[in-house]
Structure 1
């Protein structure tokens, strides 16, 4: 039986195999270092400048705009 390759951890962004030398782990998920970037602006992220909500990666600026701001707005009563 031929050997099967690619059975390791999968990248949460591109879903391809992540090998140890290119692995970035954050929020309990694995990413390629090149896939670990903000969903909005595509800025490369590091462990000290990222935020994650519902499995989506953000830079601090876009997390503030997309997640925090939406969660703090009060509904208007009619």
Structure 2
């Protein structure tokens, strides 16, 4: 069986091929280690300090302000 080129998984951020040496996985989505950053502040993340919503990566601070705060509803009187 001939080898297929470009068969590697695609990064959840840049959509380029991700190979084992540069791979980090979160939420069953592969990422390049250099692409694994907060969407808001671009801080480098690791598996201990990231949060994810709808395949978007956040640091803990921006997850609170961008996701949790927007999903909190004020009661209607």
Structure 2 length-normalised TM: 0.89
Alignment match, 1:18: 18
Aligned equivalents of 1:76, 1:45: Cα separation in 2: 37
Q: CA deviation at 1:74?
A: 1.2
Matches within 5 A, 1:1-78: 4-77=4-77
Give a deviation string over 1:51-78, Cα, whole Å, max 9, x none.
000111100000000000111131544x
SS of 2:70's equivalent in the other structure is helix
- State the distance in 2 between where 1:76 and 1:63 align: 25
Cα RMSD (Å) of the superposition? 1.6
- Between the two proteins, the alignment pairs up a number of residues equal to 76
TM-score for both structures, normalised by structure 1: 0.88
CA drift at 1:5: 2.6
**Structure with the bigger percentage of strand:** 2
Tell me the distance in 1 between the aligned counterparts of 2:73 and 2:4: 51
| Structure 1 residue 12, shift from structure 2 partner | 0.7
